[in-house]
Structure 1
């Protein structure tokens, strides 16, 4: 799973900061599989591109590569939705070149609490959805399950701050991803209670 601090704080290995806010849901989502957390705090899409370009995926061929990027491009750098989506498109292309037999599960940018970013997030996700080809690139927007009744801002009960989910938020995302992975990967056996094996 490649991402920024949202991924980094979720759980799994390697763990660099000890927060692991969603460690229980990560364990439930990926047990009994080997999953690598390639999330780095404050990363833009460009940083992830640099990491992959310089060997992060060399020599491996995961069945599924999950990508969750873009929130820092929109929130910190104030990229336009088009610029953010273009960067992610280039990143997905690079990942396809590095791991041609892997399926890529591209996730939409998660909702943020800043009201002025609700529309840019939606516009970016509409553009990202165009990358879905149903063969080796699959788009999904699990962040919709975090939204409040206004359909734009995340529910407070699921968020630790303006952008990062809390443990309950990660549980919501875990349930959404488990359904997606079951459809994408015939060998996927996660999404079960910790302690239960298939």
Structure 2
């Protein structure tokens, strides 16, 4: 798993779900709070993410800090290029690895939230991804009610998940993990 604080917090709020859902697959969490796409690219290319063998699957969820840090001022295409650049670097670094690229998760109080709309525009670009050994999945509907608001109890701040939110995330990615991590 590679990403920002939302990935990093599997170690905190998501820990019981992580241990229950993912332990049999021996996953590693390389999420770092505050990371943007350029930080992730650096970690993939220059910092030596420790790997004794190529992982079977890398799950990438990054980009909301680009939106938040620049208050929606970074063009969606630019953030998407950074995300896809990170995926390309993973594909080069790990030539036998499949990448599950997740759409940036919903943020804010509802569909009218400007930063959520910005992330949705980034996700629309990512949905066109044609990179080899890469599957794009937008699982955002799982986190939302019929009005487009975050489900009750899944987030403490309209961005980061509670254990309930991590359970939804785990349920959404387990089919991919089972497929690629046999």
TM-score with structure 2 length normalisation?
0.89
Query: Which whole-Å deviations, capped at 9, do the CAs of 1:120-140 have from their partners, x for residues lacking one?
Result: 12111111111155x510011
Aligned to 2:164: 168
The 3 A distance-change label for structure 1 pair 69 and 170 is same
1:119, distance to aligned residue in structure 2 (A): 1.7
Q: Secondary structure of the equivalent of 1:106?
A: strand
Query: Which whole-Å deviations, capped at 9, do the CAs of 1:6-47 have from their partners, x for residues lacking one?
Result: 111112xxxxxxxx1011111122121211110000000110
Say yes or no: does 1:21 pair with 2:17: no
Aligned to 1:4: 4
Aligned mate of 2:153, from 151, 157, 162: 157
Hey, which of these two has a bigger chunk of helix by percent? 2
Q: Secondary structure of the equivalent of 1:104?
A: strand
RMSD between superposed Cα atoms in Å: 1.7
The 3 A distance-change label for structure 1 pair 186 and 46 is closer
Matches within 5 A, 1:111-122: 111-113=106-108, 115-122=113-120
Aligned to 1:126: 124
Q: How many residue pairs end up in the alignment?
A: 176
Aligned to 1:97: 92
Q: 2-side partners of 1:99 and 1:179: how far apart?
A: 21
Does the CA contact (< 8 Å) of 1:143 and 1:173 recur in 2? no
Matches within 5 A, 1:57-72: 59-72=52-65
Aligned mate of 2:27, from 35, 39, 42: 35
Say yes or no: does 1:177 pair with 2:170: no
Q: Secondary structure of the equivalent of 2:95?
A: coil
TM-score with structure 1 length normalisation?
0.83
The 3 A distance-change label for structure 1 pair 186 and 91 is closer
Structure 2: stretches of 5+ with no match in the other structure: none
Aligned to 1:146: 143
Does the CA contact (< 8 Å) of 1:2 and 1:68 recur in 2? yes
Structure 1: stretches of 5+ with no match in the other structure: 12-19, 188-198
1:167, distance to aligned residue in structure 2 (A): 0.7
